[in-house]
Amino acid sequence: MTEEQIERMTKAIAVWGKRKNIRPVDFMRLMNWSHNYSWMILRGKFPFKEASWGRFICAYGMTALNELFEIAEIDPEKINADA
């Protein structure tokens, strides 16, 4: 991913979490992360990178990941394209 794509996905998960009323404690349990890390991800304070997508898909489904791509205005087919 490019730095711009990472930044967009980081912002997108914060927007998605607010839209879906995802609480950090629930996100923590589903993602099996610490409360602090979950809070930071959901508030857009820590990068949401490809390494986290597998857990995210298991917890929330592929539809949710596609919602993130839509919010971030990223074409999943171009995710590894150099900017």
Which residue segment(s) compose the domain that 13 sits in?
3-75
Q: What is the CATH number of the domain that holds 32?
A: 1.10.260
Q: Does 59 fall in a domain?
A: yes
- 82 domain residue, yes or no: no
- Structurally, the chain folds into a number of domains equal to 1
Is residue 36 in some structural domain? yes
Q: What is the pLDDT of residues 36-73, one digit of tens each?
A: 999 999 999 999 988 899 999 999 999 999 999 999 99
Asked if residue 83 belongs to a domain, the reply is: no
Alpha helix (H) ranges present in 1-83?
Answer: 3-19, 24-31, 35-42, 53-60, 62-72
Average model confidence (pLDDT) across the chain: 92
* Averaged pLDDT for residues 6-28: 95
Residue 82 has what pLDDT? Answer: 52
Can you tell me the distance from the alpha carbon of 25 to that of 33, in angstroms, rounded to the nearest whole number? 10
The number of angstroms, rounded, from the C-alpha of 38 to the middle of its chain's C-alpha atoms is: 11
Has residue 81 been placed in a domain?
no
* Cβ–Cβ < 8 Å for 37, 4: no
The pTM (predicted TM-score) of the whole model is 0.87
Residue 83 has pLDDT above 70, yes or no: no
Give the separation between CA 80 and CA 45, rounded to whole angstroms. 23
In a domain, 15, yes or no: yes
3-state secondary structure of 61: coil
Supply the pLDDT for residue 81: 56
Specify if 31 maps to a domain.
yes
